[in-house]
Amino acid sequence: MTVSLHSPGRINKLQLKNRLILAPMQQHKGTPEGHATDYHVQHYGRRAADVGLVIIESTAVSSEGRLYQDDIGIYSDAHIEDLGKVVKAVHARGARIFIQLSHGGRKSHPLPDERLLAPSSIAFNAEYRLPFAASEAELELLIDRYRKAALRSQAAGFDGIELHAAHGYLLHQFLSPVTNRRTDSYGGSVNNRIRFVHRVTAAVREAVGSDYPVQIRVSASDYDPAGLLPLQVADFIAQLEPLIDAVHVSSGGITPVRPLDVHPGYQIPYAAVVKSKTALPVIAVGGIHGSALAERVVAEQLADFVAIGRPMLEEPDFAGQLLDRKPSPIL
């Protein structure tokens, strides 16, 4: 049977009404204490009608891990109520909603009295502070922060969790040899570099139970000669597979270097590589804004879902328009 954007999909036991997903996009509208506001309720509710799944923006598991000070967070029980309102608004429009749990590591903007934590003490660039290499005790604390954030996500009513392990943030920093120069059990070999991500994922899985959707967003390429390649990232996914329900394939962010060739769907081949190595559902993203291209991704099973970002900011009904359009032969 041919899969189309209209086909229902499934992540773990969660049924999604179609194959379109609102990609996570920071809104920079959190309060200084990391709360979501009415803005978020309106913003996500308005964009929920036509997609099967909304993934809300990077939401910090700890205050010092906010990517920017105006990010939202879920690092205290006090955040649950506001996020619960966002969940209700999205459910009211008939979509499901995941939260993206994140910690920025060396790419965070902590308060002056908070520590900038990373696997190793290497600054991202001159605009960021030099991070501290997190101690083993700090790593235990961070794992606990993810665990608590996962429990709060469930309490707020989210249908699932996306762990942000892409774009050069903390989890990605452990995976990549560019940023992880540790000599303890969290650095060096592939098995050591995946250890922190594995422990975080296992802690989240244990907290939320086996039926609750947990997926991971990865960068499939570091665009760096010393960095990760798609097949290596696919191997990481294979190791995590028993703990997760889907993979969202993006790229880049570990260094300030950007890919030279950013054409429509430029990350689809990465999604296809990951898909060829896993039985998990795969989400493709990045410039997949034409109906023919989006339909082709799912019909040819290069990926199972298509996430759409920027057009949904400009035009909240963009997903509906994409679904209504007849696939044209032109990409």
Q: Which residues bind ligand FMN (CB under 6 A)?
A: 23-26, 57-58, 100, 164, 166-167, 217, 250, 285-287, 308-310
Pairing of the two strands 20-22 and 305-308: parallel
- Spot the catalytic one: 79, 103, 167, 172: 167
Least distance from ligand FMN to the Cβ atom of residue 40, Å? 12
Looking at beta carbons, which residue is closest to ligand FMN?
309
Nearer to ligand FMN, 221 or 250 (CB): 250
Least distance from ligand FMN to the Cβ atom of residue 57, Å? 4
- Spot the catalytic one: 146, 169, 212, 270: 169
CA distance 11 to 1: 19
What Å distances lie between residue 135 and 97, 117, 253, CA to CA?
34, 9, 24
CA distance 207 to 175: 23
Nearer to ligand FMN, 309 or 327 (CB): 309
CA distance 107 to 126: 11
CB half-sphere exposure, 18, CA atoms < 13 A: 23
Least distance from ligand FMN to the Cβ atom of residue 169, Å? 8
Nearer to ligand FMN, 35 or 132 (CB): 35
Annotated active-site residue 186? The verdict is: no
Residues 87/42, Cβ–Cβ less than 8 Å: no
Annotated active-site residue 198? The verdict is: no
How many angstroms from the chain centroid is the CA of residue 206? 19
- Spot the catalytic one: 43, 103, 109, 164: 164
Annotated active-site residue 43? The verdict is: no
CA distance 260 to 25: 22
Q: H or E segment at 198? A: helix 195-208
Nearer to ligand FMN, 55 or 133 (CB): 55
Residues annotated catalytic, as ranges:
164, 167, 169
